[in-house]
């Protein structure tokens, strides 16, 4: 492991805005985010596979009456987001180092009001379908943890993942689906909020179309 990574892992252990194994809140945060971390009653948006957490740190100053939690397994990436949140004194941002597969160990039913999936790994092989973050088993998990009417957003450059998601959604009880295969030339651009993740910057530079969709789970 590189020195830089080790240094970041060490710094993460000292950061109050990163919840990770070994820290007291990590074990007890389920159902208690508002009470024990944010100390307010505002709704919680979760950024899954957050990487550096551009959505969480980008949204936090725009929406001071909402809370944001970036979730990723990679501590060295969230280190960057946590640093930005610290520097900007963003009290409505937290990072959770965990695998999304166990999201229900960290959030209680109805605790999440909105989910963003910015540029999830496309997992293109057929035998990887179940690992795509919009496969039925993940959607079932999200549905369980979200408030009724909570919105899920997906952004990706990958048309195969996008088409797969639209197919999966045909079999799900959802409503208010809207989508575009070219976000930057779409009226759905109003959902862009001026936020570009690291991956998005790269794909936009390469001239690739950004695909975007959102929907709500139906009761
Ligand atoms: C392609 S990167 C995108 C990062 C960031 N959202 C962006 O747009 O720049 C996908 C991220 O998802 C994380 N990830 C993938 N599968 C995950 C899982 N099951 N649980 C937690 N994080 C996951 C990876 O560690 C990685 O940081």
Tell me the catalytic residues: 121
Q: Is pLDDT at 89 greater than 80 in this prediction?
A: yes
Q: Is the CB of 99 under 6 A from ligand 1?
A: yes
Distances in Å between the alpha carbon of 167 and those of 101, 117, 171? 21, 17, 7
Q: How far is ligand 1, taken at its centre, from the CA of residue 107, in Å?
A: 18
Confidence of residue 39 (pLDDT cuts 50, 70, 90): very high
Residue 1 is predicted with a pLDDT of 83
The sign one gets for the Cα dihedral 162, 119, 129, 107 is: negative
Q: How far is ligand 1, taken at its centre, from the CA of residue 50, in Å?
A: 6
Average pLDDT value for the chain: 97
Residue 209 is predicted with a pLDDT of 97
Q: How far is ligand 1, taken at its centre, from the CA of residue 74, in Å?
A: 8
Confidence of residue 50 (pLDDT cuts 50, 70, 90): very high
- Helices within 15-53 (DSSP H only): 24-28
Confidence of residue 219 (pLDDT cuts 50, 70, 90): confident
Backbone torsion region of residue 33, taken as left when φ is above 0, otherwise alpha when ψ lies between -120 and 50, otherwise beta: alpha
Q: What structural domains and CATH numbers belong to the chain?
A: 3-217 (3.40.50.150)
Residue 164 is predicted with a pLDDT of 98
Residue 40 is predicted with a pLDDT of 98
Distances in Å between the alpha carbon of 151 and those of 54, 58, 67? 19, 18, 15
Q: Which atom of ligand 1 is nearest to the CA of 74?
A: 25
């Amino acid at each position: 492991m590189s020195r830089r990574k080790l240094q970041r892992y060490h710094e993460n252990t000292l950061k109050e805005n990163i919840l990770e194994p070994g820290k007291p809140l990590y074990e007890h945060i389920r159902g208690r985010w508002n009470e024990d971390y944010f100390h307010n009653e505002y709704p919680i948006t979760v950024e899954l596979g957050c990487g550096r957490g551009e959505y969480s740190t980008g949204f936090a100053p725009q929406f001071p009456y909402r809370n944001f939690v970036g979730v990723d397994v990679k501590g060295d990436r969230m280190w960057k987001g946590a640093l930005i949140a610290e520097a900007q004194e963003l009290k409505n941002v937290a990072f959770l180092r965990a695998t999304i597969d166990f999201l229900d160990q960290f959030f209680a039913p109805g605790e999440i009001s909105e989910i963003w999936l910015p540029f999830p790994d496309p997992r293109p092989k057929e035998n990887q379908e179940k690992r795509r973050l919009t496969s039925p088993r993940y959607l079932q998990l999200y549905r369980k943890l979200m408030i009724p009417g909570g919105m899920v957003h997906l952004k990706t450059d990958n048309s195969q993942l996008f088409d797969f998601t639209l197919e999966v959604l045909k079999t799900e009880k959802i409503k208010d689906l809207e989508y575009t295969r070219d976000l930057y030339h779409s009226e759905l651009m109003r959902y862009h909020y001026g936020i570009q993740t690291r991956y998005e910057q790269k794909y936009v530079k390469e001239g690739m179309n950004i695909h975007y969709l959102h929907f709500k789970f139906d009761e």
